[in-house]
Amino acid sequence: MNQIEIRTGTRREMVDITAEVAGVAEGGGDGLCHVFVPHTTAAVVINEHADPDVARDLTAAYEAMVPGIDFAHAEGNSDAHLMATLLGSSVTVPLVGGRLRLGTWQGIFFVELDGPRTRKVWVNVV
């Protein structure tokens, strides 16, 4: 298992980690690359990384989708836990000849939902 470290700078943020994941997967042969976020207020998704406006629209939309109900959790970050469960804690990408097989416009994003914090991502090749 390989670990990537990320330092986020704001509360909500999408960090493109495609190159870091590709670096770990390199030489892994054929199979799947599993990218796992060991946090409960962050997530990982695959989406367009060509136009940075897409990532900005996504974080704004995640915030706008949180319902205006009273949350009980004392830390006050239930909105971040909510979006983390909807986006998911892992993605899995086909690996061919040690290279990530992503679509033309796809990149892998770490999604910070309750930053700024120091975060980890675990990468496994199977």
Contact residues for a second copy (CB under 8 A)?
A: 1, 31-32, 34, 36-40, 45-48, 51, 53-54, 56-58, 60-61, 64-67, 69, 71-75, 78, 81-82, 84-94, 96, 101-106, 122, 124, 126
The C-alpha angle with vertex 57 and arms to 110 and 104, in degrees rounded to 5, equals: 65
Closest CA to 110 of 27, 31, 23, 38: 38
For a second copy, the closer of residues 12 and 34 by Cβ is 34
Least Cβ distance, residue 102 to a second copy (angstroms):
7
> How far apart (Å, rounded) are the C-alpha atoms in residues 65 and 6?
26
Least Cβ distance, residue 32 to a second copy (angstroms):
6
Least Cβ distance, residue 23 to a second copy (angstroms):
18
Least Cβ distance, residue 42 to a second copy (angstroms):
10
Task: Give, as one character, the DSSP assignment of residue 72.
Answer: -
3 state DSSP class of 89: coil
CB atoms within 10 A of CB 43: 24
